[in-house]
Amino acid sequence: MIASMTGYAVMSREIPEGSLTLELRSVNNRYLDIQFRLPDEFRLLESAMRELLNTQLKRGKVDCRLTFIPYANTDLPQKFNEQLLNKLLELNNAVKSALSDAKSLTVADILRWPGILSSDTLSTTALHESCMELLQATLNEFTATRVREGEKLKNALLERLRQLRQLTTELSPRIPMLLANFQEKLVARLQEAKIDGNDERIRQELILFASKIDIDEELSRLQTHLDEVEHTLLKGGRAGKRLDFLMQELNREANTVGSKSVDAEVSKISVELKVLIEQMREQVQNIE
């Protein structure tokens, strides 16, 4: 199955001390980039949460936000972090020594400082299991949303793949027709100029013209790349990087076809090929 890098999921769980809500959202990114926003009581869980996300996600910019709302009637006695207070006082004195006009920290500043107050009843160890279970449940739903989005991307890519195949089949018959037209015009011009147009001279001119407009190799490579794109999509898995590479190869061949064109219809088809490939490339950038 194909998974998108775009996804969203949010779940909540009630615990004796209050309500936990965990939100996961992601957008496309070249690598896996996980950002956490956690309450102070849960910061020690970041390493374990990151490890769990790393086992199931490989690409995307992921935001993980955990919110804890204590019950209004829950008695949560506060504990003062004296070690952090001493550190703040040391830093305050250092700043005052360097900048004499700097203002000292106020009592309100210190009380608002993250981690200066903590609850005796909220133990990170006690909450660890509930939080990790909530993360796993949210991650399951998050992964499901990425798979559903990935299925839509796959179907859209397969449809554009069908359109690309149709356009390439329209190119093949154009080359013999162009050669025939060129030969007819060449003979007519030689006759108008009253120049002896012997078979050998015409043959050489045709060979030279044919070499300039020959796109058989490009069409063959286009077909090979299209087959590989289809195989990769149907095989599934983490295919984003492989598909991105194939889009580059398809675009290269389409550009070469356009550069060899001496026919308005071939040029038109070449442009349509590049437009479709660019649309596919933008979609592929969202695939994990």
Tens of pLDDT, residue by residue over 78-97, are: 566 778 888 888 888 888 88
Q: Is 8 left (phi over 0), alpha (psi -120 to 50) or beta?
A: beta
CA angle 85–86–92, rounded 5-degree value: 90
HSE-up of residue 178 (Cα within 13 Å, Cβ side): 20
Q: Is the dihedral of CA 89, 95, 99, 103 positive or negative?
A: negative
HSE-up of residue 126 (Cα within 13 Å, Cβ side): 9
From residue 68, give the alpha-carbon distance in Å to each of 12, 16, 101, 133.
10, 12, 39, 15
Sequential pLDDT tens for the chain (288 residues): 899 999 999 999 988 777 899 999 999 999 999 999 998 878 888 999 999 999 999 999 999 999 988 776 555 555 667 788 888 888 888 888 888 888 888 888 887 787 776 654 455 566 778 899 999 999 999 999 999 999 999 999 999 999 999 998 888 776 666 665 655 555 555 556 555 555 566 566 555 555 555 677 788 889 999 999 999 999 988 899 999 999 999 999 999 888 777 677 878 888 999 999 999 999 999 999
Tens of pLDDT, residue by residue over 145-192, are: 999 999 999 999 999 999 999 998 888 776 666 665 655 555 555 556
147 and 287 in contact (C-beta within 8 Å)?
no
Residue type for position 32: L
From residue 274, give the alpha-carbon distance in Å to each of 179, 195, 285.
25, 42, 16
Rounded to the nearest 10 degrees, what angle do helices 240-259 and 264-284 cross at?
A: 170
CA distance 153 to 156: 5
CA distance 225 to 204: 34
pLDDT recorded at residue 145: 96
pLDDT recorded at residue 213: 52
pLDDT recorded at residue 121: 47
Burial 245-260 (b: 16+ CB within 10 A, else e): ebbebbbebbebbbeb
